[in-house]
Structure 1
Amino acid sequence: MKVLIADDDAQMVRALGLLLRARGDEVIAARDGAEALAAATTKHPDVCLVDLGMPRMSGFEVIEGVRAFSQVPIMVISGRTDSSDKVRALDAGADDYVTKPFAVDELLARLRALARRSRAAGGDHAEAPAPEAVVRFGSVSVDLASHVVERGQDTVRLTPTEWKFLEVLVHNAGRLVTRQMLYREMWGTDDIQDTGYLRLYISQLRRKLEADPAHPVHLLTEQGMGYRLVLGEPGLSRE
């Protein structure tokens, strides 16, 4: 796998480079945003690791620039913990967000999951669901075969991670989906301590798919347990 590491922290770039090369990956290093965007354009990485606070061009600008021509998986690696930065990065087109300092095992698991989803979305050997597998709730339709989500007459763009989250809920519609199940399906491990990632992604999905994101009636939280997709019109909504 060819991995672009864009970070102005030389020590971080060196450490990540050694880690990835040790497992057989090819590493492209960029020390500022402009260099990162140029490398993404000309060297065609399989995955991009992008810091947000870089000189010459911010990580947000890099993400938007890459998204103008490519759907390559982008993982943000940043010391910024504010939810507004996470939301902005995901809205710009990032697929995942890891906060520094991070556990190496978790980072590698997330990289593997991003690579798998990217191959499944574009690979010739991906097993597609039946073409008639279209699930509807409210004004939303989810086509599991073509990975197309529509809300009314509009097509909704989801990041690969948002799509995977929604796909797991759709396949288990009406049933409780535990946090551990989501961790395994989305990142290949259930040994993740920070549940803030799931709250962030469900918030993003509600913003894109619910009529009133502050009072969801389809994408529900089961406090302390996980999440549930309700296809019909429930009598009570839960946040």
Structure 2
Amino acid sequence: MCAHVLVAEDDTMQAELIRRSLLAEGHTATVVHDGSAALEAVRRDRPDLVVLDLMLPLVDGLGVCRVLRRDDDIPVLMLTARAAEEDVLLGLELGADDYMTKPYSPRELMARIRTVLRRSGRTGGAAGPERADDPVVRAAGIAVDPERHEVRCDGRPVECTPAEFQILLALAGEPDRVFSRRRLLQCARGLDRSSTERAVDVHIMNLRRKIEADPRRPTRLLTVFGVGYKLSGTRP
């Protein structure tokens, strides 16, 4: 299924290359060159995914991402020429679902876009494991529905990015099992040369803000020091 992708990139040559690659993949694309235009295009066009350059004029990529996560759950793939880990982690903390550092190959970018769209459920494919009777995975008061791409905590809806959703789905599917950061990185988006295991820590931190009564003293999403993380099998 084709998706509509918003490309926010101030480098016109890069933007055109991305646009052509998207069209070759069967998607449609809107291209803008500054952050203000990106926010207006999101409101107007309701894209399925935003490819967002970090260094945009008027409103930078981090500012755009901050507004998007406050108002919407559209998946965001961040592009950055700043390879500093702090920039990448800040983007993930703001809710970016994936990132790529420049320079990158168009083929790899298209592969990443396919992965984010599939995880977000915006291409018609169900994410995560399916069960013949009940697809909902439950643990510790958390219910993760891979068919509807919904999460509930003690009955209340919880908004998750696609990466957060996949991590939570994996943890809830095997409560009390300890997952290494490397394994959770695979669950979130697969391993590649630009991934860092610290990105998992950021996703876990964001999830704790959403499902824990006190994120500083978690009772559901627990750290196993020196190993990784697990979701408690019992309700707190």
Alpha-carbon separation, structure 2, partners of 1:123 and 1:24? 15
1:148 to 2:151 alignment = yes
Describe the superposition over 1:47-106 as per-residue Cα deviations: whole angstroms up to 9, x where unpaired: 21112442233435544655687543222223374367325521xxx4x14153365465
Which residue in the other structure is 1:237 paired with?
A: none
**Aligned twin of 2:86:** 82
CA contact (8 A) 2:139 2:235 kept: no
**Percentage identity across paired residues of the two chains:** 28
Cα RMSD between the aligned structures?
3.7
AA at the equivalent of 2:9: D
Whether the 8 Å contact between 1:48 and 1:75 is mirrored in structure 2 is yes
Deviation (angstroms), 1:108: 3.6
Q: Which amino acid aligns with 2:152?
A: V
* Counterpart residue identity of residue 86, structure 1: G
Unaligned regions of 5+ residues in structure 1, if any?
235-239
CA contact (8 A) 1:48 1:72 kept: yes
Q: Is the deviation greater in 111-120 or in 59-68?
A: 59-68
> Does residue 186 of structure 1 match 2:206?
no
1:135 to 134, 138, 160: 138
Q: How does 1:52-71 map to 2 (within 5 A)?
A: 52-63=54-65, 71=73
Contact 1:173 1:228 in 2 (8 A): yes
Relative to structure 1, the CA distance from residue 45 to residue 111 in structure 2 (aligned partners, 3 Å threshold; closer, same or farther) is same
Compared with structure 1, are the counterparts of its residues 229 and 158 closer, same or farther at alpha carbon in structure 2 (3 Å cutoff)?
same
2:99 corresponding residue in structure 1: 98
Q: What are the residue-to-residue correspondences of 1:147-186 with 2, within 5 Å? A: 147-151=150-154, 154-186=156-188
> Could you state the TM-score of these two structures normalised by the residue count of structure 2?
0.72
Contact 1:113 1:186 in 2 (8 A): no
Q: Deviations over 1:139-160 (max 9, x none)?
A: x432436523225x75432222
Deviation, 1:112, is 1.6
Tell me which of the two structures has the higher relative contact order, counting C-alpha pairs closer than 8 angstroms and 6 or more residues apart: 2
2:56 aligns to what SS in structure 1?
A: coil
Count of matched residue pairs: 225
The structural deviation recorded for 1:32 is 0.8
Distance in 1 separating the partners of 2:58 and 2:176: 48
Report the Cα distance in structure 2 between the residues aligned to 1:106 and 1:222, rounded to whole angstroms: 34
What do the CA deviations read for 1:123-167 (whole angstroms, capped 9, x no partner)?
497786555846242xx432436523225x754322222122111
Q: Check whether the contact 1:81–1:99 (CA below 8 A) recurs between aligned residues.
A: no
